[in-house]
Amino acid sequence: MTSQSEDGTISGVEEEDRLWHLAQGSGIGRRRFLQLLSVGGAAAVLSACGVLNLPRHPEETTVPADVSTPDSQGWFKDVTPFIRRSGSLEARLENMQGVLTPNRFFFVRNNSASIDVNAEAWHLSVEGDAVSSPMELSYQDIRNLPSHTLISYLECAGNHRVMFNLINGLETEGTQWGTGAVGNGEWTGVPLQDVLTRAGISNDAVSVLLIGLDEDSPEEGFRRVLPVEKAMHPDTLLAYVLNGEVLPKDHGFPLRVVAPGWVGSSCIKWLGRIVVSSERLWTRNNTTSYVLIGDDYRPEGRAEGKVVTTQSIKSALALPWPAELSTGRHRIHGYAHSPDGPITKVEWSVDSGASWKRAEVPETQPQYSWARFEFTWEAGPGEYTLMTRATDSTGATQPDTVPFNRKGYLFNQPLPHPIRVA
């Protein structure tokens, strides 16, 4: 276990001693250890020691489910393609070949079992002191409103969370996601802006509280506050279609929020109620959860730290972790995304970051889509650590380090992907 102070920090000397101890146990000499440390940091050392293996959740074994009724764990979809983690389904990026993530491979993050909502009996209520005409809309009312379609990735705020531990030796709370708490979909629905306008949203509106019908979730219905500016953005959707199909039950049927570029917790599933307020609203999910808590983050309002809103720029290889490949030429792909604009560059390294090469990235991407990058690697036998890093149209690039936060949100260092070639 890494030596760690009460505030979660670790000294450089303690970290180097820990890594050197691991290296010695793996038969790595001092000279090689220092070389790895200088070119790739802790990630390169850990990879060389063979300890960068994602932990398996004890529930990972899967059983196919019937899509019309939930299985014993509350899933409607076939869970066979997924890694099961603490009641959620992590996707395997190696299953994804195109830009859009097929519904059957789309990850699921739940705070309770999926629920089966009767669309005929369902309604959406819009209320609060910042609307002049509170109302209820039926499913058919929603479907009759002018629709809007966009492509957007959806990602859990905790995607890559396990890397805080595997790479930096710091333990975090929450589901220990690897790289698969993300998917890219084509969403169709009605802009939230249109519904709020019909309800007579006032000029003094500040917060829009979104509440789900999943009563077994915290607060008896998972909920999240959007600032009015995000709620009124024309691309913030109340979605009822995913990839041309009626929104699947595990993904929020009959209606869910899609807030492009924002963390998945903002995209409430099984939406049943909207409260518009003239004051800033606070719930569990912007005071103690979905908050960056650590020395590098100041408390914000009633929150214990900085409230998590937008995602961070990331990239990952579409390979198992760790991966095993045959010798020879391989065409390798992965996915990169950013909340601030299209991905303009992806680089890859086969020497733990000592040198970088350009991957191929499509010149055009839908505004909120991830990018599918590719490169060719002539692989000889041996142990390797492949890394990728992405840059977006604003010039933002994945950072070399990420400040620690207790809940493990928004980790986006370049990932040292262990690969054995034989």
Look-up: residue for tokens 């054995």? 420
Per residue in 83-142, pLDDT (tens digit) is: 999 889 999 999 999 999 999 999 999 999 999 999 999 999 999 999 999 999 999 999
Per residue in 373-400, pLDDT (tens digit) is: 999 999 999 999 999 999 999 999 999 9
Per residue in 357-374, pLDDT (tens digit) is: 999 998 889 889 999 999
The answer to whether residues 148 and 191 touch, using CB atoms and an 8 Å cutoff, is: yes
Per residue in 159-199, pLDDT (tens digit) is: 999 999 999 999 999 999 999 999 999 999 999 999 999 99
Strands (E), 278-381: 291-292, 306-307, 314-317, 323-325, 328-337, 343-349, 357-358, 371-379
Asked whether residue 66 is assigned to any structural domain, the reply reads no
Asked whether residue 70 is assigned to any structural domain, the reply reads no
* Mean pLDDT of the region 38-53: 55
Q: 358 and 299 in one domain?
A: no
Q: 374 and 254 in one domain?
A: no
Can you give the pLDDT at residue 16? 74
> By percentage, how much of the chain surpasses pLDDT 90?
79
Q: 343 and 303 in one domain?
A: no
Q: 352 and 278 in one domain?
A: no
Whether the per-residue pLDDT at 72 is higher than 60: the answer is no
Residues 6+ apart with CB under 8 A from 311: 155, 157, 261, 262, 263, 337, 338, 339, 410
Q: 257 and 276 in one domain?
A: yes
Q: 320 and 340 in one domain?
A: yes
Whether the per-residue pLDDT at 82 is higher than 90: the answer is yes
CB atoms within 10 A of CB 280: 12
Task: Dig out the tokens for 395 from the structure.
Answer: 């010039």
Buried b (16+ CB within 10 A) or exposed e, 154-165: bbbbbbbbbbbe
Q: 194 and 288 in one domain?
A: yes
206: left (phi over 0), alpha (psi -120 to 50) or beta: alpha
Bridge-based pairing of strands 245-246 and 237-242 is antiparallel
Number of structural domains found in the chain: 3
Asked whether residue 191 is assigned to any structural domain, the reply reads yes
Q: 354 and 402 in one domain?
A: yes
CA distance 352 to 5: 29
What range does the domain containing 411 cover? 314-421
Last residue of a domain, one of 261, 283, 307: 307
Q: 264 and 145 in one domain?
A: yes
Q: 136 and 186 in one domain?
A: yes
Last residue of a domain, one of 307, 331, 350: 307
CATH of the domain at 324: 2.60.40.650
Coil, strand or helix: which one is 346?
strand
pTM (2 d.p.)? 0.85
Cis, bond preceding 320 (omega within 30 deg of 0): no
